[in-house]
Amino acid sequence: MSLDLLLDHLKHTAALSQVSGILSWDQEAIMPVKGAVQRAEQAGALASVIHARNGDPHIPEWIAAIDQDRLSAFDRRNIAEAQRGYDKATRIPARLAEESARAASQGQRIWAAARAEKNFSAFAPALKKNIDLKREEAKCLSAPGSDLYDCLLDDYEPGARACELQPLLESLRPGLVALREKIAGKPMPRALTGNFPAAGQLMLARQIAVQLGYDLEAGRIDTVVHPFCSGTGGDVRITTRTDEEDPLNCLYSTVHEVGHALYAQGITDEFMPAADYCSMGVHESQSRFWENQIGRSRPFADWLFPAMEKAFGTMSLNGPDQLYAAVNRVETGFIRTEADEVHYNLHILLRFELERELIAGTLEVDDLEEAWNTRFERDFGLAVPDASLGVLQDVHWSIGLFGYFPTYSLGNIYSACLDKAMRADLPGRDDMVRTAQTAPVLGWLRERIHHKGRVLSAPQLIEQATGEAPTAAPLIDYLEAKFGALYDL
């Protein structure tokens, strides 16, 4: 009886959270500009209701009355997640939850305008407010003297600690820098040039999404400033963006979000926390796997090249070999989402470093743009020309997502581990990818990752799926093999 009451409560709370997600999607995709003020109030009001449900005093009473020894691992995890949510909700004031949601909604709107104007100072007050609220939240959740950042990281990577993540992520740097230096000076592959109408890009993006397994009867594709995926189960929406001089941005943004969407559509129960995604690092492993190990692979170029010729006509590239080289060009650039695989994690390390300092208070918002530009030039050797190519390029901080960035690199690490294990299990995978018949690939991920929910921790899940504890070694091995062959190192 108590279990039924608890699960029913969780179901209704999850439904409200999904409504909140749809409101956020609507704000970024199709909401009228003049709806921003109302939407901020709506987001705050809904966050207040969800916060109250998470902290409902009946939750500990129901949990205490349940005999957990007789439960499945799945229901024990549901109880643990209910307790985790209750503990957080009862330590965070309702006023703070509502104000944070409102500030995130307002911050996204202000960021988008500031980014278009390349004006960081226009965004700085909203960012200060978000950071102040996040610091306050972390103080509510943390023990005296502990790392405030860990409390925020826990929202995306449960159980992870910055002091443990930092050496793992930093272990990538020597190999990435060495690989970049070996590639420097090598002949650069030909780039794709020309004009590619947006309508053709979106038509091909839709075709790719469906080909890889995205169910359009349970989703939709729209265009936004910064692509994202939203939803779960029967309503999983993805977004992309177009640039008529660069169709690859649209196509690979789409593949990335399809990776997220396939995970979300594969969740076995839309309302139970135990069935939800394991962590954002695992979620990002799915998007990065489909984008890189599949989408940027040589076999996939055999399918993609004729599909692009059909969509755009004769191109500046001659055949799949040149397309494969073009989509894997190693070139230092400013934009994280457009970065090649060699540089991508260096972008994440920069953001991880800066946001930890922002939350700790050792770096203030007024000094952030200068800090970004100085450290970017240190790490990449380029002077940042304007804020839209620097500190304003990502949406995350505008909506309060502090602690999210390191999950991208965890995703790259996990995806390489999964790729290594999958190749052993599916020796014919290249032939599948060459014809874009990837149902067995998706089936492998459904069985090993998507249907497992969050009964295990992220490291435990990856180890169970691959037979090995996750490390950075498979990622470095994969990058050295791929780019060593591409650049004849």
From the candidates 257, 338, 353, 369, which is the catalytic residue?
Answer: 257
Please confirm, yes or no, whether 257 is among the known catalytic residues.
yes
Which sign does the torsion angle of CA 383, 387, 388, 390 carry? positive
> Per-residue DSSP letters for 228-258?
-EEEETTEEEEEE---TT-HHHHHHHHHHHH
Angle subtended by helix axes 406-425 and 162-170, to nearest 10: 60
The three-class DSSP label of residue 55 is coil
Distance CA 78, CA 74 (A): 6
Distance CA 149, CA 137 (A): 10
| Planar angle of CA 188, 192, 194, nearest 5 degrees | 140
Distance CA 259, CA 414 (A): 14
Q: Which two tokens stand for residue 488?
A: 């004849």
Count of CA atoms in the C-beta half-sphere (13 A) of 438: 26
Distance CA 426, CA 432 (A): 10
Residue 230, beta-bridge partner list: 237
Angle subtended by helix axes 247-265 and 280-288, to nearest 10: 130
| Planar angle of CA 408, 410, 416, nearest 5 degrees | 105
- State which amino acid sits at residue 374: T
What percent helix, strand, coil does the chain show, rounded to 5? 70, 5, 30
Residue numbers annotated as active site:
257
